[in-house]
Amino acid sequence: GNSLPEDMLVPSVFVKTIKRIYDEERGYADAVILADRVLLRERYLHESTVNHVRFIQCQSLARLRASRFFDEVRKVPEPDRSFLYGFHYRLAGDYARAEENLLKVLSHSRDRRRRDPRAVGELVLVYMQSDEYEKALELSRENYENRPSNPINANNYFACLIMKPRSKDNREQLEEIVTRLSIDPS
């Protein structure tokens, strides 16, 4: 809300602020306003800064269900553009289009170990929200095994395991997840 002279604005501070407003405060409209302000000076900024700001702007617009999302997302390079379309369509409940776009992101990386964890996580949510837990299971396991301390990955894998028929192996996996999370003080 404070007014600062444009020549005093530091791009990295703006990026951190926009990200904090988006991630922590869930202030999507404010994130869009700040992103718009940064992007007015787009030609003077490094391409990676512009792309990062526009990415957060598009995430915010998707969460706000703003039609402007489609104008802005066209300016985002691939594979981030496909990720954002997948994100938008998941939020809108169009799981087929979300899946299509997220699979496009994953096809950019042939190596299973180097696949975009954001895209894998979004695809897990798409499958879970459309009650396709079998499809979600392997992807949620992949994300969990790559970052077992991430509570979102643990929660998604846990939810998929719960949907499977009861077994000794299943129970051991569930207990391992709970144990690993209980050790983490966060």
Model confidence pLDDT, tens digit, residues 37-64? 989 988 888 898 899 999 999 999 999 9
Closest CA relative to residue 87, chosen from 129, 49, 115, 48: 129
pLDDT computed for residue 71 by the predictor: 97
In whole angstroms, what is the distance from residue 57 CA to residue 51 CA? Answer: 10
Summarize pLDDT for 14-31 with one digit per residue, the tens. Answer: 789 999 999 999 999 999
pLDDT computed for residue 4 by the predictor: 55
- CA geometry: angle at 143 spanning 159 and 98, to 5°? 80
Closest CA relative to residue 106, chosen from 119, 94, 87: 119
pLDDT computed for residue 9 by the predictor: 57
pLDDT computed for residue 13 by the predictor: 80
Angle between helices 151-162 and 133-146 (to 10 degrees): 150
Amino acid, res. 30: D
In whole angstroms, what is the distance from residue 170 CA to residue 185 CA? Answer: 25
pLDDT computed for residue 110 by the predictor: 62
Residue 149's SS3 state is coil
Are 58 and 69 in contact, with CB atoms under 8 Å apart? yes
Q: Which residues of the chain have pLDDT under 50?
A: 8
Burial of residue 169 (number of CB atoms within 10 Å: 0-12, 13-18, 19+): exposed
